[in-house]
Amino acid sequence: MQIELLFKDKSFKPKERTEQLSRLIEQQKIGVDELVAFAKLAKEPVKAGCIESLEHVTKTHPEHMTSTALSFVIDSLAAKAPRVKWESARVIGNCIHLFPANIPGAVTKLLDNTEHEGTVVRWSAAFALSQILLLKTGINSQLVSAAEAIVAREEKNSIKKIYLAALKKIIPGKPATLK
């Protein structure tokens, strides 16, 4: 299996491995579902590397994502490893617009991560939730109040700004203030 060999090859630095894996996915030499099948059985650091490669791909080519892969990434939001959580949230933010049926499940798990102790996990959850807010789906009636509550309790201005920018775009006249 090409993916396994890539992770066993110690001549690659982690960033190079992610870039190589991303290229193979973009060139369709490795399928997204094939990567997910491998990642499901992998230890947390390897799983995080696989999800990071999906994040790189979906940033410019969200159409490469599959429903199966998105379900895996949503489930990965509950992983113990913070890196798995934050990479998963970024993938969701990049491609959730293509999978509206998956929004409710993603929102539930992303909201759990807004209370995580890790700043990067909370920042990534904010990114994904703001992307969902901007879709203006039916879930916004609940998500707007949740985002406002997060802004009120969040200590990091960098995270507050993500929510406030999204709220300002979807609610005309919404003041973008940090308290």
All domains of the chain in start order, with CATH = 2-170 (1.25.10.10)
Between CA 168 and CA 162 the distance in angstroms is: 10
Residue 173 has pLDDT above 90, yes or no: no
Q: Is 26 exposed, middle or buried (0-12, 13-18, 19+ CB in 10 A)?
A: middle
pLDDT at 172: 79
What are the residues whose beta carbons fall under 8 Å from the beta carbon of 12, sequence distance 6 or more?
6, 20
Q: Are 40 and 69 in contact (CB under 8 A)?
A: no
* Average confidence (pLDDT) over 108-121: 98
Q: In this model, does residue 179 exceed pLDDT 60?
A: no
| The two three-digit tokens of residue 152, written as one number | 């009120």
- pLDDT tens digits for 63-99? 999 999 999 999 999 999 999 999 999 999 999 999 9
Instruction: Say what the pLDDT of residue 143 is.
Output: 96
Single pTM value for the model? 0.94
* Integer Rg of the chain from CA: 17
Rounded to whole angstroms, the Cα distance separating 147 from 169 reads 13
pLDDT score, position 1: 57
